Amino acid sequence: VSPPRQPATDRSAALSRETIARAALALLDAEGLDALSMRRLASDLGVGTMTLYGYVRSKRELLAAVVDVAAEDFVAPPATGDLRARATAFLRAVSDWLERHPALVALRDEEPIVRPSAFSVSEHGMRILLDMGLGPEEAARAFRLLFTYVFGHAAFSPRAPTPDEQRALHAALLSLPEDEFPAMRTAAAGAGAALGGEAQFRYGLERILDGIEARAAQLRRDR
């Protein structure tokens, strides 16, 4: 008397490491990191909890497999325009990718992603930096800086702040004692908009690319 559990995907469709990883990613995207437990995932798949351990050695290993399937989802933008435009488009694409799979950021927070699957995302970015004229060592450092920024933005800046959030922050800053927080009060007007969202992402990215391009130009002069 076991009722069918999966109306759409056939329960009897052979389980595999990848099927499991895809289901985990879907759960992660839909309900967040806390919702993903081995028990819940198994139940979603219509199997016993311990069945999963036939495909992954541990939850850690499952999460690594999730990164692999998520990496396939990265959409590289067409390599058109000048280098600056290509860099902007690439980083915008990485940012979009992280927004589609927000849990990737939390996973990366727990341990470095050094899976080969992630390297194909990196290849695009590194190409652009090398084309700008940076040497291998400096291109690696610049790449890492951009990586840190994009992941940092995804991790620490909420999506576009609502007018309510902006007003709340503004009010909180204006209520700080003036003698102790003069700078914060001065900047109160801009703090709401700077909280996050697309315009803030672009502002930061432009400053960083300005800094990197200045270095590339300097290297060309020195050469």
Partner DNA sequence: ACCTGAACACCGTTCAAGT
Q: Which one of the spans 8-16, 59-67, 70-78, 181-189 is the region binding its own copies (CB under 8 A)?
A: 181-189
The residues near 117 (Cβ < 8 Å, ≥ 6 apart) are: 67, 68, 71, 72
The residues near 91 (Cβ < 8 Å, ≥ 6 apart) are: 125, 146, 149, 150, 205
Selected binder of its own copies within 48, 54, 81, 152 (CB under 8 A): 152
What separation in angstroms does the CA of 183 have from each of 47, 190, 191? 58, 12, 11
Interaction between residue 163 and its own copies (CB under 8 A): no
The closest of 154, 157, 131, 155 to 143, measured between CA atoms, is 131
- Choose from its own copies, DNA, none: what does 83 bind? Cβ within 5-8 Å by kind: none
Interaction between residue 215 and its own copies (CB under 8 A): yes
How many angstroms separate the first and last alpha carbons of the chain? 77
- To its own copies, the closest distance from the beta carbon of 62 in angstroms equals 17
DSSP assignments along 77-104, one per residue = PP--S-HHHHHHHHHHHHHHHHHHSTHH
- To its own copies, the closest distance from the beta carbon of 23 in angstroms equals 24
- Choose from its own copies, DNA, none: what does 32 bind? Cβ within 5-8 Å by kind: none
Interaction between residue 9 and its own copies (CB under 8 A): no
The dihedral sign for the CA sequence 21, 27, 29, 33: negative
- Choose from its own copies, DNA, none: what does 49 bind? Cβ within 5-8 Å by kind: DNA
Interaction between residue 78 and its own copies (CB under 8 A): no
Q: Which residues bind its own copies (CB under 8 A)?
A: 105-106, 108-109, 112, 114, 116, 119-120, 122-123, 126-127, 129-130, 135-145, 147-149, 151-153, 155-158, 169, 172-173, 176, 180-184, 186-191, 193-196, 200, 203-204, 206-212, 214-215
